[in-house]
Amino acid sequence: MATKMLKRTGLPLDLCERLSKYQIINCRDFLSVSPLVLMRLTGQSIHKVYSLLKIVSKACAPKMITALEMKTERCSNPSIAFFPTSLAELDEILHGGLACGTLTEVTGPSGCGKTQFCFMMSVLATLPISMGGLDGTVIYIDTESAFSAERLVEVARCRFPDYFCTEQELIKMTKKIHVYREFTCFDVLRRVESLEDDIISKGVKLIIVDSVASVVRKEFDTRLQGNLLARSNLLSNEAATLKYLAEEFFIPIILTNQITTRMGPREAVCFQPGSVADDLPLSEGRGISPDGETGYATAALGNTWSHSVNTRLIMQYMDFDSRQIIVAKSPLAPFAMFIFTIQNSGLILQEMTNTRGHLFKVSGRKFKGDSEVKTTEAIFWLRVQILDFSRSEFAALSTPALPEISQC
Amino acid sequence: MQRDLGSFPLPPALRAKLIGCGFHTAEDVSAVRASELSKEVGISKEEALEVLQIVRCKKFGEESQASTGSPSLRKCTALELLAEEHSQGSIITFSSALDEILGGGVPVAKITEICGAPGVGKTQLSIQLVVDAQIPKCFGGLGGESVFIDTEGSFIVERVAGVAQAAVHHCHLIAESGQDEAQQEAIKEFSVSSILSRIYYFRCHDYVELLAQAHLLGDFLAEHRQVRIIVIDSIAFPFRHQLEDLSLRTRLLNGLAQQLIAMANDYRVAVVLTNQMTTRFGEVCSSLVPALGESWGHAATTRLILHWEGKLRFASLYKSPSQKEATVPYQITNCL
């Protein structure tokens, strides 16, 4: 819309000719210039300039829709608004699953399960709608060469053994997943910008970019002057294009990110699990620099990128086998944390058991404690520190990293 | 009036011709008739008429400023302004702590900016405000309609419906416990679908669409006189990635801010803008500051910064002409 040529907006043609001599050819150029300069360029009075501005604005402004119309459109449209992840508790918290038309980011330390999650979602997207899928094709942009077709087939076979009982079904499923390997930032950006044609021709219902961070961090060293700005620009452009695609075609987009350590004074560290009952000094164990500042791990790619994604799921280690997935940012869901393991069939949520037998007061809802309390429905209103543990370090710790809730 | 012709918004070519023929001040021009002017200067009769209209209308406007004048040039005493401010009301946020520090709620006819880190609740607060602006007057609200301009795509209808449901429920409780008849009446009209039907939603994908929408908003508000709040969520996102030229960005933002202030005043709407945070690299450590630069900080009348401290969310009133700086905790539940 911004690049709509002035000739097609309803302005008189001779005016368009005159403006093109000053390199003003589309709506963006016209609206970026101040009214006084426009007066000079067009040779018109100020009132005429205002009416010209209105004509051009009408040509590229968005259409108005009331919220009620949006809702009825969503209800009447047979396509679903949320893409179920097949992890039941997670879907419940997210009001149905990953919201279509938004960007969902999955972040976590290496080896945590982000790529496994992507495989699982790819398989799910190819399933028919009756089974909780999207009945469409998948575009998988792989920047780390981590895509393994064998693993994909294994997940499909183990998770849905009845559906994928024949070779034929498997072949059909794998044909629906299109993998693009891009190894530089520029390639990724170009691929993303050219996705529109593929989406229409192939009936794409899910786009996965795994991972956004690896190429960007390879190419942009933020210690160098000017690189931070260039990196933010690139990421914002990518985010804007992906958002446009997501909304235009109403499909979910999954992106993966990495973890970085941010150095800062201890007070600035906002996320402290169990600071109420401090038997797990996790924050103190991490990277204390010589200046006495501690580092804490957060999602990579900076603040601007954090603003661009709509939903953020953080994965981290708990102990050898189990990991946590945390809903950190969502327009719909409160904070929640779930424990999962990775098995043959992909991600499996574990039931959270606590052997303490205390009453937990969580945002006004009380759960009676037995000797073993099943807290699958408990919603933890905590902000959990994102920990950058590798497996070997975890083995050295004696207690598991389950955050302590205030006991009463 | 000895006003120089150069100060009138005339087309430059015409102005050059007029000056060339010896017309320097407004008086010279207004003494002549349109046909005479056209013959002397060598311009068409329509152009001459246009010149005379501009000159005369400006003169007329200046002389009669004391009596009526156009709305934006009106003079008034501070007492009148006080009465106006009292009658305007503000938009409550359903979080009493926030309302307190804002002095009753988000003020009408002013620009309020909400800044915060990602995930802290800016979109949630904006959604709450567009629903709250519609609360009927007998419940303490403004009974108006809302405009939501979305640049990020975080407006999910299901969430809005949830917030609206909570607001309706809240009002039902008040109406049932009280005896007020007006409230009983109003509650029949106030439902989730009526709320949703009065939220006007625009999705702008880049800054050009946002600028275009701002130009057209004036007419939209003139048609929909019941609109009491405009929310732009967020104003930072489109301006932060496509514009490399920072001076252009500052100029466009200032122009946008001026348009919004004019609209806020003329049509008595509250304007709420959501901003992002960016990292400023200092000598020792980096800190989070509101995005869009220093000069943007002057655009908003009131600035509210939402941040984390430990496990709680806090809202700080950072800039306000009438309220003291304060920090209060808040929570996001079904309604804020």
- Average pLDDT of B31-43? 81
Consecutive 10-residue averages of pLDDT for chain A (408 residues) = 77 86 85 85 84 87 85 72 85 86 90 89 88 88 88 88 85 90 89 88 90 84 76 85 87 89 48 31 35 61 82 86 85 83 83 41 33 30 31 35 36
Region B29-56: mean pLDDT is 81
The pLDDT value given to residue A262: 67
Q: Do B201 and A64 touch (CB under 8 A)?
A: yes
- Three-state DSSP at A200 gives helix
- pLDDT by residue (tens digit) across B70-127? 444 567 788 887 887 777 777 877 777 788 888 778 888 889 999 888 877 888 888 9
In chain B, residues with a C-beta closer than 8 Å to the C-beta of A43 are: 11-13
The shortest CB-CB distance from A329 to any of B119, B199, B285 is to B119
Mean pLDDT, chain B, whole residue set: 81
Chain-chain contact of B12 with A39 (C-beta, under 8 angstroms): yes
- What pLDDT score was predicted for residue B310? 67
A231 near B CB under 8 A = no
pLDDT tens by residue, B127-172: 988 888 888 888 777 888 999 999 888 888 888 888 888 888 888 8
- What's the pLDDT at A370? 33
Which residue in chain B is spatially nearest to A67 when comparing CA positions?
A: B196
Which pLDDT tens digit goes with each residue over B221-260?
999 888 999 999 888 888 877 777 888 888 889 889 999 9
Decide if A67 and B117 are in contact by the 8 Å CB cutoff.
no
Q: Please give, rounded to a whole number of angstroms, the shortest distance from the CA of B77 to a CA of chain A.
A: 31
User: Does residue B246 come out as left (phi exceeding 0), alpha (psi in the -120 to 50 range) or beta?
Assistant: alpha
Average pLDDT over residues B48-53: 82
The percent of residues above 70 in pLDDT, for chain B, comes to 91
**pLDDT tens digits, one per residue of A230-245:** 888 888 888 888 988 9
Are residues A237 and B241, on separate chains, in Cβ contact within 8 Å?
yes
Minimum Cα–Cα distance from A330: chain B residue: B119
Higher pLDDT: B192 or A379? It is B192
Structure confidence at residue A360 (pLDDT): 30
The answer for A 205-224 residues in CB contact with B (under 8 A) is: none
Q: What is the rounded average pLDDT of the residues B268-294?
A: 80
SS3 state at A237 = helix
Yes or no, beta carbons of B212 and A329 under 8 Å apart: no
Short-list A257, A12, A61, CA closest to A144: A257
Nearest alpha-carbon partner for A113 in A254, A349, A315, A402: A315
Closest of B83, B128, B123 to residue B106, by C-alpha = B128
Nearest to B308 among A233, A235, A383 (CB): A383
